[in-house]
Amino acid sequence: MIYTDILFVLIFVLLCLLSRALRPWPELREWTIIVVSLIVVVSWGMFSLVLLLAVAAINFAAAWAAPAAPGRRRAIVLAAIAFDLAALALFKYGSFIATNLGVAFDTKLRAPALGIPLAISFYTFHLISYHVDGLRRKIPPLPLRQYLFYLCFFPHLVAGPIVRTWQLPSQLGHVRRVGGDLLFGVHYFVLGFFLKAVVANNLAQAIDPYWLADAAGLSAADRWVIAFLYYCQIYSDFAGYSLMALGMARLLGYRLPANFRTPMLAGTMQEFWRRWHITLSRWLRDYLYISMGGNRLGKPRALVNILVTMLLGGLWHGAGWSFVAWGAMQGIGLAAERILGLHRKPDGLWRRLPWWLITQLWVTLAWVFFRAPDIHSALHFTDAMLRLDHASAFMVQSRLLFPLAIAGGAVLHHLSPLCIATLPRRRLGLFLGVTTGILLMLDLMVYSPNKVFIYFKF
């Protein structure tokens, strides 16, 4: 069940009405949302639901067993986390590990193609943060209803935002008036729908053939344009999903953390990761980078921690060397900034502009490794991007002009906060209402190929 399907939209509208009717009974209301969340999971296959419930049951038992056995608390938590990571490795990395072991030992070693169950990467992150926060005594074990709601709430279950245990459970068990959230909820949902259905899906249809077929006839400029278009596509796809998730949560009376904040305006790599997939970068910082020592053990160790964190972050996205290379590029960019002292935002427009350009070019180049079918295709593509030794290298095909116009939707979305900042507060509601109406008409009128969200496969 894709969130841009008309069937899902109708089901969600009915859920909103039912949720409003059940406001006097918050516990029943939350159980209803949990059931709907599980129906969303089972729509992708019974196995995904069975695995989710099995993993949830084991972790729920571990979370309650740990405080009851103070002497073995740490061991129980580590065992639960090890189980979660083992399940993730089996389903997501089994084939990748077997293939590379086979190459290393010159044997034909194959793992069965189990497929990636829906949302396993994201609920693994939620479970690890739940156990670590419990071990650090930041939260007590959650009752079953709150635990299942935190883990299975469908707006964030499939592809984030990654929610901490102190963010969502504290909103449960009491009546919350939607009130002012109604306008923002509808706006976020319609805007996210536009970014995904109109911008991302049409960009995918335009540029997917360039990644799947031989791109030998493309100039260097063509390749840079295609890489930029993919930057706009993945932003519109993932930010669109995140906005729809925030909108759905608000319409149901809950708030989720923001996941994107105009990453194309980032002037440094550090700033980029404070604007792109914000909940993931904070999770990696708090549970991986800081746990390895952060910057407390000196500059050389901090640089190693940055590289390791981003390599693992890249590998989390997918079982392939191209994802490892993408993570390595992120780590190298962050480490280079730290070495050169450029991670702090420079003062003045003319000092910021060069570093903004370098940052965005590096990010765009890295997206090739994220999107290309494999590491060899990515290296071939980027090698041709950097060859500017003849006049034709600067020529751009006319058939790329239409997708560039579509990508304008993603660029304009980055500029919208600047427009909103100039508005008087009393005009904000009118601006959001008019914008939402225009976007809704575009959602209904512009053709959209039906495509799954990119991050659903992670």
Is residue 319 within 8 A of residue 93, CB to CB? The reply is: yes
Instruction: Give the Cβ contact number of residue 106 at 10 Å.
Output: 7
Alpha-helix runs per DSSP H in 252-374? 269-273, 278-284, 299-317, 321-340, 349-371
CB hemisphere CA count around 416 (13 angstroms)? 15
Q: Which residues contact 22 (CB under 8 A, 6 or more apart)?
A: 28, 29, 32
CB hemisphere CA count around 321 (13 angstroms)? 8
Q: What is the DSSP string of 388-424?
A: --SGGGG---GGGHHHHHHHHHHHHHHHHHHHHHTS-
Q: What is the DSSP letter of 286?
A: I
Determine whether 277 is an active site residue.
Answer: no
How many angstroms separate the CA atoms of 371 and 318, rounded? 11
Q: Which residues contact 9 (CB under 8 A, 6 or more apart)?
A: none
Nearest CA among 436, 458, 449, 456 for reference residue 154: 456
Q: What is the DSSP string of 129-179?
A: HHHHHHHTTSSPPPPHHHHHHHHH-HHHHTT-PPPPTTTSGGG-SS----T
How many angstroms separate the CA atoms of 100 and 299, rounded? 33
Q: How far is CA 366 from the centre of its chain?
A: 16
Among the listed residues 317, 343, 413, 414, the single catalytic one is 317
Is residue 134 within 8 A of residue 94, CB to CB? The reply is: no
Residue 259 tokens, joined: 């996941």
Q: How far is CA 265 from the centre of its chain?
A: 18
Q: Which residues are catalytic?
A: 317
